[in-house]
């Protein structure tokens, strides 16, 4: 409650100071009859009246209505009523101030400019509340996103520690690997070549089966991407996606062979390699000849 109270007072003080400077520099009212010191004192009176009325209406009267200083007025019609009350009181107060303190002749144009000035505080306060609420919602969504990402990371870590068994067509061979170790699976005639990482080294193993059957075994793991009719790759091992004219290929970290990407799968590959925040962090390079390099759109 004290934090909100201090925050509102700082906002009201900033608005009052802004109106003080506006009237001082742009002089919407005749101030020529005063010397500099009296002009500053007279204009400061505008800021003081506006600050006191904002405190009176937006804090005291709002508290009397809601009986809770720590909460904002949420009812839109009640908010409009309080703002209208402020504008009416502010207009009357400033008009009397101009007439009886400043000896300014009150005309319709003077009253019109006074009303416009009285609109500034509630409009500014409404915009401030809107931006503060949006910031709080953004912070809440950011926190929820971080929690969700942590849950996803924990889930993926559990998944990566699972073991997959590749069985040959005649069930005579079984290759058991952790999901996190499997780097690339590609067809090799009547066999499937499984490339996996063992420590710092890449190893290969052939198993008699079809790539389609292996892909079905890996379908529950979203990080395995079909990039070519002959290849399925683990996206966590991808270093970059490159192209030369109409040919695309993937480079694997620490692996000296290029993995082709066919036009049929390029869109799906690009989407799969894009991080959750939607921003592309993976290097995409052109290799269109000596001395040419640019980003792939």
pLDDT digits (tens, 9 = 90+) for 139-162: 999 999 898 888 877 777 777 778
Q: Which residue has the tokens 């090799």?
A: 188
pLDDT above 60 (res 58): yes
pTM exceeds cut of 0.75 = no
256 and 268 Cβ atoms separated by less than 8 Å: no
Radius of gyration, CA atoms only, the chain? 35
Beta strand segments in the chain, E: 163-167, 174-178, 182-188, 191-198, 201-207, 224-228, 231-234, 238-244, 247-252, 258-261, 284-286
178 and 162 Cβ atoms separated by less than 8 Å: yes
User: Of 188, 273, 191, 190, which is closest to residue 225 (Cα–Cα)?
Assistant: 273
Model pLDDT, residue 122? 92
Confidence of residue 199 (pLDDT cuts 50, 70, 90): confident
218 and 164 Cβ atoms separated by less than 8 Å: yes
pLDDT tens digit string along 102-132? 888 999 999 999 999 999 999 998 899 899 8
Confidence of residue 295 (pLDDT cuts 50, 70, 90): very low
pLDDT above 80 (res 247): yes
Confidence of residue 291 (pLDDT cuts 50, 70, 90): very low
> In the chain, what percentage of residues exceed pLDDT 90?
40
45 and 20 Cβ atoms separated by less than 8 Å: no
Average pLDDT of every residue of the chain: 84
16 and 52 Cβ atoms separated by less than 8 Å: no
Q: What is d(CA 40, CA 61) in angstroms, rounded to the nearest whole number?
A: 30
pLDDT above 90 (res 276): no
Model pLDDT, residue 279? 47
pLDDT above 50 (res 226): yes
Q: Which residue has the tokens 């504008």?
A: 87
Q: What is d(CA 191, CA 33) in angstroms, rounded to the nearest whole number?
A: 99
Confidence of residue 14 (pLDDT cuts 50, 70, 90): very high
- Rounded mean pLDDT, 41-61: 90
Helix (H, G, I), strand (E, B) or coil at 28: coil
Confidence of residue 66 (pLDDT cuts 50, 70, 90): low
Q: What is d(CA 95, CA 84) in angstroms, rounded to the nearest whole number?
A: 16
| Structural domains of the chain in order of their starting residue, each with its CATH number | 2-152 (no CATH), 163-286 (2.40.50.1020)
194 and 204 Cβ atoms separated by less than 8 Å: yes
């Amino acid at each position: 409650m004290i934090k909100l109270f201090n925050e509102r007072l700082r906002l009201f003080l900033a608005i009052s100071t802004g109106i003080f400077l506006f009237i001082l520099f742009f002089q919407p009212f005749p101030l020529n009859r005063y010397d500099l010191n009296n002009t500053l004192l007279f204009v400061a009176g505008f800021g003081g009246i506006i600050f006191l009325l904002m405190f009176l209406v937006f804090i005291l009267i709002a508290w009397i209505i809601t009986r809770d200083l720590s909460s904002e007025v949420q009812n839109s019609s009640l908010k409009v009523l309080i703002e209208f009350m402020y504008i009416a009181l502010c207009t009357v107060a400033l008009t009397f101030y101009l007439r009886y303190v400043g000896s300014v002749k009150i005309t319709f144009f003077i009253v019109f400019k006074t009303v416009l000035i009285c609109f500034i505080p509630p409009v500014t306060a409404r915009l401030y509340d809107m931006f503060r609420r949006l910031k709080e919602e953004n912070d809440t969504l950011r926190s929820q996103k971080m929690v969700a990402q942590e849950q996803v990371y924990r889930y993926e870590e559990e998944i990566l520690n699972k073991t997959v068994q590749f069985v040959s067509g005649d069930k005579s061979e079984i290759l058991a690997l952790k999901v996190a170790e499997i780097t690339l699976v590609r067809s090799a005639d009547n066999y499937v070549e499984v490339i996996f990482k063992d420590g710092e080294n890449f190893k290969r193993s052939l198993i008699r089966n079809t790539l389609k059957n292996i892909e079905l075994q890996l379908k529950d793991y979203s990080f395995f991407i079909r990039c070519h009719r002959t290849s399925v790759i683990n996206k966590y091992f991808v270093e970059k996606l490159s192209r030369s004219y109409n040919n695309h290929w993937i480079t694997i970290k620490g692996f000296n062979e290029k993995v082709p990407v066919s036009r049929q799968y390029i869109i799906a590959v690009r989407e799969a390699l894009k991080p959750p925040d939607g921003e592309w962090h993976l290097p995409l390079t052109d290799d269109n000849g000596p001395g040419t390099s640019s980003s792939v759109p």
